Amino acid sequence: MSDGVGEAILEAIDIHRSYGRGSSRFEALKGVSLRIDEGESVAIVGKSGSGKSTLMHLLALLDQPDDGALRIDGVDSSQLSARQLNRMRNQDFGFVFQQFFLTPNATVLDNVVLPLKIAGVSRRERKVRGMAVLTQLEMADKAKSKAVNLSGGQKQRVVIARALVNNPRVIFADEPTGNLDTGTGRLVEDILFSLNKEYGMTLVVVTHDSELAARCDRQLFIRDGRAVPATAISGAPA
């Protein structure tokens, strides 16, 4: 839990999530609590299958807990309408995943402005805002290139640009460097942490990489669906 400095933008209170039924039922989360303050960078750390990605999906409103409460700015997410949830996901949150989820034969610019298109922003404004974030990430010269022709590092920059185009309050990054070589991964990390430090965007990183986790303000360690002390995780940052 946080020491209470700042305002909580996200708060999970004893959340549970299971999948399947009967003998095939799997408890992914078994009562996890977490508070994330505005402007923080927080790493959710654990091995594959620990429940860390499930927790991120719940925090990002991509899924709902079976039990417990999830609060956004102090408001219980279960009280929000489907329209409010969709607006929050599209406007307040940005997503950076290990898989790029780009449309291969669409241009870089078209991939970046997709959230704006979904939000009904005019074509002219989409182009202006899309080019602004591409320029910020030194990718403006690739705006007309097809995504399929980019390197892995370039694709991840496009994904970050897409995450930024709505000027989100929170960036969720799930293994953001998992498909990248060490050098390129470090550059992507630097971009994410500069957005956190310079623009005050809240950063939630899911990772099994102890070095990446150590760069965050705080770490929450997950094992078998529960939050555990750092000492319980092999290779956890000190």
Domains defined along the chain, listed by start = 8-231 (3.40.50.300)
CB atoms near residue 183 (< 10 Å): 8
Q: Residue 124: helix, strand or coil by DSSP?
A: helix
pLDDT digits (tens, 9 = 90+) for 92-110: 999 998 788 899 999 999 9
pTM for the whole structure: 0.87
pLDDT digits (tens, 9 = 90+) for 166-216: 889 999 999 988 888 888 889 889 999 999 999 999 999 999 888 999 999
| Contacts for 3 with CB less than 8 Å, ≥ 6 apart | none
- Has residue 2 got a pLDDT over 70? no
Q: Chain centroid to CA 119: how far?
A: 19
